[in-house]
Amino acid sequence: MKRDFLRLWDFTSEEITGIIERALALKSGVDANLCPLIGKSLWLLFEKPSTRTRISFEVGIYQLGGQSIYMKPSEIQIGRGESTADTARVLSRYLDGIIIRTFEHSKLEEFAANSDIPVINGLSDLHHPCQVLADLMTIKEKKGVIEGTRIAYIGDGNNVANSLMEAAGRMGLSLSIACPEGYEPDAVILEQARAGNGEIIILRDPKEAAGRADVIYTDVWVSMGQEGSAETKRKKFSAYQVNASLLACAKKDVIVMHCLPAHRGEEITDDVIDGPQSVVFDQAENRLHSQKALLEMLIR
Ligand code: CP
Ligand code: NVA
């Protein structure tokens, strides 16, 4: 029975823990010569730009012995109106897995429902689960423990915030999301995640969130596809910058995370992202290791 990874909630806490442990082992060089994807082909369908997700998946697939195939949507028949369902049915006959970055989350669900091979969400408007796998790995690496870790997410209640809420529910994190009114994360995902093991608080004051945090996390104010609301959002979010004054309210050993790409000078300042508490480039590296562990688990 194939498994998909469309959202973090698709996996149990034991499965997530297993992926993180395996990712840390892979990072340390264990089994570097094992090639579990020999003879396997995976397709990347990206309808939005990407640096980290696309390259780390392509490199990870290669390192595991498989081949990745990338084509722009405009180069395939989807670009000329072939249905998602028909495309999924046909590609299941050639491939061993598909990684999709798209707008509507429902497109991923439709792809997964019509395909016999694992579908992995490389980011949708609602979720960014691969990012949050790497984030959890980074927290384990830097803090030694995941359960009970206090995360202050400062900024837009977007796809990354939604996936962090699911991580909180599954892994027992304490997550405080500080955002302006009207920019809260998805209400349905929040309710579901709150039924899990963690604690999720939505508040307005970034300093209140940062004061109790082990991790301060931020993401862009304007996500891909939201460019039309950029001016409004920049005004609304001006008090939500992760800067030296916010860090001064936090614990001395707080670490700073950002999924990247960063809009330096907007949601985060240069001195913070380049400062000693920032772990953002280790976090970005961990995309590679955590996705290799994910592929080992899913691709049969
Ligand atoms: N963090 C992340 O997903 O980056 P890319 O958009 O570059 O893939
Ligand atoms: N929230 C951002 C994440 C980018 C990796 C976006 O969707 O554009």
Q: Please give the pLDDT value at position 73.
A: 87
Spell out the alpha helix ranges (H) of 80-229. Answer: 84-91, 105-113, 129-143, 159-171, 187-194, 206-211
33 falls in which pLDDT band (50, 70, 90)? confident
**How many residues can be counted in the chain?**
300
Tell me which of 3.30.300.30, 3.40.50.1370, 3.40.50.2300, 3.10.310.10 is the CATH number of domain 131-283: 3.40.50.1370
For residue 27, is pLDDT > 90?
yes
Task: Give the residue among 186, 189, 218 at the shortest CA–CA distance from 10.
Answer: 189
For residue 113, is pLDDT > 90?
yes
Which of these ranges, 72-81, 221-230, 258-267, has the smallest mean pLDDT? 72-81
- Best substitution site from 123, 128, 283 to test ligand 1's pocket, by max atoms within 8 Å of Cβ? 123
Ligand 2 shell residues, CB under 6 Å: 123, 158-160, 219-220, 223-224, 259
Task: Give the residue among 133, 84, 131 at the shortest CA–CA distance from 112.
Answer: 84
Q: What is the pTM of this model?
A: 0.98
Centroid of ligand 2 to alpha carbon of 257 (angstroms): 14
Centroid of ligand 2 to alpha carbon of 39 (angstroms): 32
Q: Please give the pLDDT value at position 238.
A: 97
Are the beta carbons of 120 and 298 closer than 8 angstroms? yes
Cα 40–Cα 134–Cα 270 angle in degrees, nearest 5: 130
Residue 248: partners with Cβ closer than 8 Å, 6 or more residues away = none
Are the beta carbons of 157 and 179 closer than 8 angstroms? yes
Minimum-distance ligand to the CA of 263? 2
Indicate if ligand 1 lies below 6 Å from the C-beta of 52.
Answer: yes
Instruction: Please provide the average confidence, as pLDDT, over all residues in the chain.
Output: 97
| pLDDT tens by residue, 149-197 | 999 999 999 999 999 999 999 999 999 999 999 999 999 999 999 999 9
Is the CATH number 3.40.50.1370 carried by domain 8-128+287-298? yes
Minimum-distance ligand to the CA of 51? 1
Centroid of ligand 1 to alpha carbon of 282 (angstroms): 14
Minimum-distance ligand 2 atom for the alpha carbon of 131: 5
Domain boundaries, given as residue ranges, for the chain = 8-128+287-298, 131-283
Structure-token pair, residue 2: 């194939």
Active site residues: 101, 128, 131, 219, 259, 287
Distance CA 93, CA 14 (A): 31
The stretch 199-220 carries a mean pLDDT of: 98
Q: Please give the pLDDT value at position 212.
A: 92
| Token pair 């990870």 in the structure block, residue | 60
90 falls in which pLDDT band (50, 70, 90)? very high
Distance CA 60, CA 295 (A): 9
Nearest CA to ligand 2 atom 8: 223
Counting other chains too, the contacts that 48-52 makes at CB distance below 8 Å and 24 or more residues apart are 48/101, 48/102, 48/103, 48/123, 48/224, 48/225, 49/224, 50/101, 50/122, 50/123, 51/260, 51/261, 52/260, 52/284, 52/287
Minimum-distance ligand to the CA of 163? 2
Minimum-distance ligand 2 atom for the alpha carbon of 156: 1
Which of these ranges, 18-22, 70-74, 106-110, has the smallest mean pLDDT? 70-74
Nearest CA to ligand 2 atom 3: 223
Hey, do 8-128+287-298 and 131-283 end up sharing a CATH topology, with the first three levels equal?
yes
Q: Please give the pLDDT value at position 200.
A: 98
Minimum-distance ligand 1 atom for the alpha carbon of 51: 7
HSE-up (13 A, CA, CB side) for residue 194: 11
